[in-house]
Amino acid sequence: MSARAWLESARDDARSWADGRSPWLRAPLLAYLAYAGGRHLASAEYRSWFAGITLAFHEMGHIVFSPLGRTLMFLGGSILQLLIPLAAALYLLLRQRDWFGLSVGLSWLATSLFELAVYVDDANRGNLALVGFSDQPEHDWDVLLTQWHVLNHAQTFAAVIKGAGALTWGAALWLGAWLILEMWRAQDAPRPAR
C-alpha cells in the first residue's frame, strides 16, 4: 500500500470513528492541551498536568535500564519518559481505535519532549533541583554529554528536542481539532431515513 493510500485509509477510519461521538468533552481537553503546549513553549519553568507522571516514568527508567550499564542507566530515564507517552498514544489508536486518544497521547509526548529539553539545557548550568535515589543525585545529561565530550552543545541539543516537541504538539493539536470538527459536522449532517 502506498503512503497516500494509507493516509487516505487512516483519514477515512478517523472520520468513521468521529461519527456519532460528542465533541463537548473533548473540546475543553484539547483547549487545555493547546494552553499547556503554549505555556511550555513560552516558559521553561511551566509544568503541565503530565509533569508528575512523566517524572515518575523518568525515574523508573533509571531502574529499568540500570542492568544495562552506567550509560544506559543515565539515558534510561529520558528514554522511558518518551517511550511511555508514545506507547500510550499507539495503544489508544491500535488497541482501542481511539483517534482522539492518539491526539492526547501525542500531546503528552510533546510535553515530555519539552521537559526533556529543559533538562538537557540545564546540563552545563546545574540550576535545576534534581530528584534521585541518593542524597546527591547526578544530573543525567551533565554526565552523558560530558562523557560524550559535547557538553558545550547542550543548548543546541535542547533546542532540537524542543523543536521536536513543538512539531509533535502541533500535529497532536491539528489531529484533535480536525477530529472535533468532524464530530461537529457529523452531528449537523442529516441522518438517512430508516
Q: Which of 107, 82, 72, 98 is nearest to 14 (CA)?
A: 98
Model confidence band, residue 189 (pLDDT cutoffs 50, 70, 90) = low
Model confidence band, residue 27 (pLDDT cutoffs 50, 70, 90) = very high
- Percent of the chain predicted with pLDDT > 90: 77
For 28-50, write each residue's pLDDT tens digit: 999 999 999 999 999 988 889 89
pLDDT value of residue 128: 81
CA distance 141 to 135: 18
CA distance 30 to 83: 22
Q: Which of 137, 113, 139 is nearest to 125 (CA)?
A: 139
For 66-123, write each residue's pLDDT tens digit: 999 999 999 999 999 999 999 999 999 999 999 999 999 999 999 999 999 999 999 9
pLDDT value of residue 192: 54
**CB atoms inside a 10 Å sphere around CB 47:** 17
**CB atoms inside a 10 Å sphere around CB 129:** 5
Q: Which helix (H) or strand (E) holds 24?
A: none
Q: What is the DSSP string of 27-90?
A: HHHHHHHHHHHHHHHH-TT---TTHHHHHHHHHHHHHHHGGG-HHHHHHHHHHHHHHHHHHHHH
Per DSSP, 123 falls in state T
pLDDT value of residue 104: 97
The arithmetic mean of pLDDT across residues 137-157, rounded, is 94
CA distance 152 to 124: 7
User: Using N-to-C axis directions, what is the helix angle for 51-65 and 70-94, rounded to 10°?
Assistant: 130
